[in-house]
Amino acid sequence: MDSTLTTTLFQGSSTISNEVDTLFSFLIYSSIVFLCIVVFALIYFSLKYRHREGTEADTTLGVDHNLKLELVWSIIPTILVMIVFIWGFNVYLKMNVAPKDALEIKVTGQKWFWTFDYPEGANTVNELVAPVDKPVKLLMSSKDVIHSFFVPDFRIKMDVLPNRYTITWFEATKIGTYNLFCTEFCGTGHSEMIGKVRIVSEAEYNQWLESTTLLAGANVPPEELGAVLFSQKACKTCHSVAGKTLTGPHLNGIYGTEVDITGGSRILVDENYIRESLLDPQASIVAGFQPVMPTFQGILKDREIDALIAYIKSIK
């Protein structure tokens, strides 16, 4: 990035960030120039034409207009507006038309986490993994309300809507981990809808894909796999394993107990109830909590559901 731009924006990490920063800086600096002109003129004319003792109150000449001045303040702003429009439209097209060879990743937003599905069958929650120096197309939709996908370091932001797809893309230029935010208020857990974008080398990305795909079929004890999934699938965002009440009820020692359900009944927390809570969370809502848990239908494989059940059973 040009050194002159770093005074207003932190360093960008995508191929489009420099163009966005340059346009933004042009708007900032041109606004400052016009602000100085207006303030200077205001002060100058206030002093020059101030009322002085011993002079008549009404000494202003009867000037109707000044054609040259009117042309200047009409033509120059028009030219600047057209420059910004053409420049901005060009950047907008680049930001919203993904290259044909881009890696496509499906993004799903829901209360209150992000799910990423990769072409190879892998999926992650709240962590998007992508290779450096390769265009990545994001095909996005929401399962509930409007969310907004925003990665400041990449200078990309796009609304994620229910019942339709939106598209954005990026090509990261640096290996590292970057913040991902939802910038559309989507309920009580909106501020907790924070994820990460992890950019790695292409070799590391391929290795990660292979290991992630094999994890579900590997010979890993169910409790151990369930503990990994509990973190990966963002279950810990709403459920504590240490007895603390968060957005949802805590899970410490809950297996084998009875809990009060909205409507006045009680239910035994067994394998069937845990499975139902994962796939149809609105069926039996624990009393005192809001019906905000999303469904993991289509997100979790059968072995992953079994592993999560085994992990929850082991929490004491």
pLDDT in tens, 113-164: 898 988 877 788 889 999 999 999 999 999 889 999 999 999 999 999 998 8
* pLDDT value for 67: 86
206 is a domain residue:
yes
Determine, yes or no, domain membership for 59. Answer: no
User: The whole model's pTM is what?
Assistant: 0.66
Q: Do residue 70 and residue 160 come from a single domain? A: no
Q: Are 223 and 314 in contact (CB under 8 A)?
A: yes
Nearest-angstrom CA–CA distance, 114 and 257: 31
Question: Can you list the residues of the chain whose pLDDT is less than 70?
Answer: 1-9, 54-63, 213-220
246 and 203 in one domain? Answer: no
User: Quick check: is 110 in a domain?
Assistant: yes
Consecutive H or E run containing 115 = strand 113-117
54 within some domain = no
Q: For residues 160 and 142, is the Cβ–Cβ distance under 8 A?
A: yes
Domain count, the chain: 3
- Same domain? 230 vs 286: yes
Q: Is residue 296 part of a domain?
A: yes
Query: What CATH number is attached to the domain comprising 26?
Result: 1.10.287
- How far apart CA 175 and CA 172 sit, in angstroms, is 8
Domain end among 215, 239, 263 = 215
199 found inside a domain: yes
Distance of CA 88 to the CA centre of its chain: 22
**Are 112 and 90 part of one and the same domain?**
no
239 domain-assigned: yes
The pLDDT, as a whole number, for residue 219 is 60
Instruction: Supply the pLDDT for residue 4.
Output: 42
3-state helix, strand, coil in the chain (%, to 5): 35, 20, 40
Return the axis-axis angle of helices 302-314 and 222-232, rounded to nearest 10°: 100
pLDDT for position 9: 59
Residue 254's CB: how many other CB atoms inside 10 A? 20
CATH of the domain at 128: 2.60.40.420
Q: Which of 215, 243, 272 is the last residue of a domain?
A: 215
Q: Are residues 211 and 229 in the same domain?
A: no
| CA gap 66, 188 in Å, rounded | 57
Host domain of residue 211 = 103-215
Identify whether residues 227 and 211 lie together within a single domain.
Answer: no
What is residue 300's predicted lDDT score, i.e. its pLDDT?
80
